[in-house]
Chain A
């Protein structure tokens, strides 16, 4: 073996060090590091928003880094684009599917690097032949109709996920990043997938494996890296650690919660909201109750049905079944207008999609919902101006004037305008869908105080947050959702970072 090759083999296949990345004022990564050896399966773990996805995207070239170094086989890697990363042997399995629905399985797998015939046409026979060879690897679990010519739009979700995995394998990379690759697979398919990972390992290919299922991690990973708040906090050999240690590393200091607005005075014992057996496409049936003055958190990993629950309660995407009542009145919603009259309010964290009326004035943006709630057909200009100026002032909103366009405000102040829609009169049930996403810390503080004030005045608040710390500092009680079902109900002494993380990951330590 030539010396150069031997030296190369001694290097880890991937060494990312001191990686930093900010999105605006948010530090997604701060000097994160990740080292992956040749031919190992490496699990990357961390709570929601810890930066693991950002780190993977940087390695795969889809996001640029602000600082830090990535070495592949000991050589500095140029990762300016996914294409460049791919040339250096890095492939990313996309959590959001990257398949083109109108094309066939084979066409998708070879998209962008189709084999050509001597005449320069796409070589369909070669595509079909090579796709068949790939499909053979998953044949026992592929299900009916999973053939090279099948259109992706005709496949089931798990078959699409398999196609996605094959697409990555077909590129014969050195390093594969599997971000939530097993999310839609059943147990048998997961087993086959693990067999593929083991084969890859035997061939010297390294896999970075992100999963939210702890048992999978311990079943397959050789080593584990844990991230927290954008930093790498621990590295373990899987055989030398246990779940408790890993969860502990993910959560960090389990003691103090800074700046807590959690209220420890006993709640009135009046049930206000009763949710019975509600179902949506990826939710339920879910039943629970909430009390007057209670701030109820929806916890768990992202995409476990929390958003579906909130938009169902508001009628934005009505439930398929089940009943909801508020103060004994049936408020099962078919559309938002139905429940707005019952003082149910909804604030989304996705301001551009769900809240903003771009190009319209602050006044219109704040007063619009009240017209519907109060069934007014003519706008009471002076009355509303006075009313909403007061509401906005109460939220410490900084704005030039009610007639200024909404776009002239910062994100945090915009969100104050959007929440002000629902504050006069005060809501009885306030639904918050990750409301502080991308908002500065000062405004977040204002938000927590507002939520607590509304609850103290008798409202029931239900909040989903992608940040566990937010739920822990704000909520009286947290329902943990997993796969569309409530799997834990944490309150009092059990509402701790450790319990929340453990319940989110869905299995006992």
Chain B
């Protein structure tokens, strides 16, 4: 009984169960929902959210109320940069990735510096950054969409690369493995948990907590920029608010996956499952003909329920 309870409390088990349940519900509501090609399509959408959530996950793991609300704007920026760099040319794809990731990384570093050295609360810092980027994008593009994706990029995101599976899913799988290895098997990974769990204790074991936190925000920006390129590959061309829809879902995916919003505990594997569960929920709701705002309500309620479910963690006995 105890073991069963423990399993039932494991976020990985909960999100896997949610995924199965949603597939069954989807299939019941609309037969064909759980067909192979449908699942691949859902996974592709999940991958884009999942990659965005990787950055969110790192920042949240780092603690101190870490969160990156600028991630949507960074995704938009990445998409716009990539679109303009590529302008339909396959040869420019590597440059597009590099430019978008670099821009995102820089913005993330600024977030990190503001949060760490100027002690601006992450919520305020990244919200402010979101405004700055959005405003900047409007000024630069004058509100007119410009640039478009190279054909090979679009194929990478949505067409089969191997056995009906598009390339982006292989990339996502690689990211999942890499994140798990880094978090569990490297000093950097342990440092993230240590800093998120008790920054003072981390410093007293010799870890450069501030530098780590700045780097986490930088990486969040980098993942945001990368996601931006994937997004333009998915939609074909960019508009300046294309990333906005990822802000709340990226946080929810992290929470569904069992990462504590107070930092120091969680895994990216959980977040990846969380992203899949969230995308499934979204499409089941769409299948049920729920409009955008209705879905927002359900998302918000899901987040609150999960906080209730996971929120009560045992405190340290001292």
Contacts and interface: CB of A to CB of B under 8 A. Distances in A.
Question: Which residue, B190, B203, B318, has most C-beta atoms of chain A within 10 A?
Answer: B318
A207 interface: no
Interface stretch (B19-27, B86-94, B192-200, B268-276): B192-200
Interface string B298-318: 000000000000000111111
Given A352-B316, A409-B317, A340 B206 contact: yes
B187 A379 contact: yes
Given A336-B203, A340-B206, A369-B205, A358 B316 contact: yes
Interface string B48-80: 000000000000000000000000000000000
A354 B318 contact: no
Contacts of A102: none
B201 interface: yes
Interface string A329-373: 000000111001000001010011111111110001000110111
Interface string A211-255: 000000000000000000000000000000000000000000000
B202 interface: yes
Contacts of B190: 364, 368, 371, 379
A378 B318 contact: no
A378 B188 CA distance: 9
B264 A357 contact: yes
Nearest to A422: B205
A357 B187 contact: no
Contacts of A371: 187, 190
A372 B207 contact: yes
B204 A407 contact: no
Question: Which residue, A368, A408, A438, has most C-beta atoms of chain B within 10 A?
Answer: A368
B208 interface: yes
B186 interface: yes
B264 A358 contact: yes
A352 B314 CA distance: 14
Given A356-B318, A407-B314, A411-B317, A348 B207 contact: no
Given A337-B206, A373-B206, A409-B317, A358 B197 contact: yes
B260 interface: yes
B267 to A, nearest CB: 12
Contact of A359 (B188, B200, B202, B265): B265
B287 to A, nearest CB: 38
A164 to B, nearest CB: 28
B119 interface: no
B3 interface: no
Nearest to A381: B185
A304 to B, nearest CB: 22
Contacts of A408: 317
Interface in A371-400: 371-373, 376-379, 381
A409 B317 CA distance: 7
Nearest to B195: A357
A414 interface: yes
Contact of B317 (A364, A376, A410): A410
A358 B315 contact: yes
A32 B203 CA distance: 42
A355 B264 CA distance: 14
B205 A372 contact: yes
Contact of A360 (B186, B197, B200, B204): B197
B1 to A, nearest CB: 19
Given A364-B193, A379-B185, A354 B264 contact: no
A357 B185 contact: no
Interface in B105-143: none
A347 B91 CA distance: 57
A376 B317 CA distance: 30
Nearest to B316: A358
Given A356-B201, A406-B316, A438-B318, 6 more contacts: A352-B316, A352-B318, A354-B201, A357-B197, A372-B205, A407-B316
Interface of A: 314, 316, 335-337, 340, 346, 348, 351-360, 364, 368-369, 371-373, 376-379, 381, 405-411, 414, 421, 438
Interface of B: 184-188, 190, 193-194, 197-198, 200-208, 260, 264-265, 313-318
Considering the complex of A and B, which 7 residue pairs feature the smallest CB-CB distances, nearest first?
Answer: A372-B206, A358-B316, A337-B206, A369-B205, A357-B197, A371-B187, A359-B265
21 contacts: A316-B203, A335-B203, A336-B203, A337-B206, A340-B206, A346-B204, A353-B198, A354-B200, A355-B201, A357-B193, A358-B198, A360-B193, A368-B207, A369-B206, A371-B190, A372-B205, A372-B207, A379-B186, A406-B316, A411-B318, A414-B318
